[in-house]
Amino acid sequence: MLVSTKGRYALRVLIDLAEHQTGDYVPLRAIAERQQISEKYLEAILKSLVRGKILTGMRGKGGGYKLAIAPKELTVGHILRLTEPALATVSCLAEHGEKCGRREECRTLPMWQELDSMILAYLDGRKLAELTKKDGSGAGGI
């Protein structure tokens, strides 16, 4: 599994919003400046997070974005499922991956399935709150 730039940036942005939440909407420009991400690329990421109901957005004066789910309830797995086309370790396990004609006799399939389960369980067990500085246990740079 290779997490894309979009997935990594989505995590950075959500950590940023969690650390700067005041109840008000945070302008796109403020997030882009703090995270050093172009506004255009950031807007595309934020739209997917709004569609996924992780964020709420408001246009116009006083507008911006804010978390729709509390950081202590939002998992890294949930976030990456919205931003990544596939989280599988091998293509035959991807949701829309290639169908392998050797699936029935594949000796390695159980190993890949177990690895996928372990990775997803880990990501689903990690909360956004754990990655924030406010929580005290977050690492500074993702």
Nearest to 23 by CA among 79, 68, 75, 72: 68
Which pLDDT score, from 0 to 100, does residue 22 have?
A: 86
Please answer whether residues 27 and 64 qualify as being in contact, where contact means their C-beta atoms are separated by less than 8 angstroms.
yes
CA distance 19 to 16: 5
Which pLDDT score, from 0 to 100, does residue 134 have?
A: 60
Which pLDDT score, from 0 to 100, does residue 2 have?
A: 83
Domain boundaries, the chain: 5-131
- Look up tokens 């392998």; give the residue: 100
Please answer whether residues 68 and 53 qualify as being in contact, where contact means their C-beta atoms are separated by less than 8 angstroms.
yes
Burial of residue 118, with CB atoms counted within 10 A of its CB: 0-12 exposed, 13-18 middle, 19 or more buried: exposed
Angle between helix 28-35 and helix 39-51 axes, rounded to 10 deg:
120
Percent of the chain with pLDDT over 70: 93
Q: Quick one: pLDDT band at residue 142, thresholds 50, 70, 90?
A: very low
Structure-block tokens of residue 136: 């005290």
Fold of 5-131: Arc Repressor Mutant, subunit A (1.10.10)
CA 133 remoteness from chain centre: 18
